[in-house]
Amino acid sequence: MNQGVEWAVHVLLSLAWVDDDRPVSTAALATSYDLPQAYLHKQLQALARAGLVESIPGARGGFLLARPADKITLMDVVTAIEGPEPAFTCTEIRRRGMGEDAPKSAFRRTCAVHGAMQRAELQWRQSLAAQTIADVKAEADAHAPSAARIARRAYGREG
């Protein structure tokens, strides 16, 4: 999984802490996490295409959550950044090398490695789909109660 997923979750968490109708600029988000602005903007655009954030154009524009934090799952974020493709792709290497001369009947059943990886990925996807940005926010608030205040200050929302 690329670092864009981590960045996207942090940005969504920050937008959930701000939670007002004023957009936060890419520059402000990038500065607050010391991230490259151009690359972060690509992640934000992917989140916008997925309907997770709303992109507001103009000099005072930026990004807002497009829906409540409890309606954005971690799986939504992963899919927006990484795409919907499975994490594991079986290339049927069992049919090459030492398996090259095996009869076709030896390959009627799904490869055991493929099956194991599919089951693990299903559990992973279900777990991500069961966790929302609101859940992450609640955990962050419990472990680092000052994080929300720091984020609001970083984006000019001290009051």
Nearest alpha-carbon partner for 65 in 111, 16, 98: 16
Classify residue 23: in a domain, yes or no: yes
Range of the domain at 96: 3-154
pLDDT tens-digit readout, 91-117: 888 888 888 888 888 888 888 999 999
pLDDT tens-digit readout, 11-21: 999 999 998 88
The CATH number assigned to the domain holding 113 equals 1.10.10.10
pLDDT at position 126 is 97
Quick one: pLDDT band at residue 159, thresholds 50, 70, 90? low
Classify residue 159: in a domain, yes or no: no
Q: What is the mean pLDDT of residues 35-53?
A: 96
Cα 36 from Cα 56, distance rounded (Å): 20
Q: What is the mean pLDDT of residues 24-35?
A: 95
Number of structural domains, the chain? 1
Classify residue 24: in a domain, yes or no: yes
Classify residue 84: in a domain, yes or no: yes
State yes or no: pLDDT of 158 exceeds 80: no
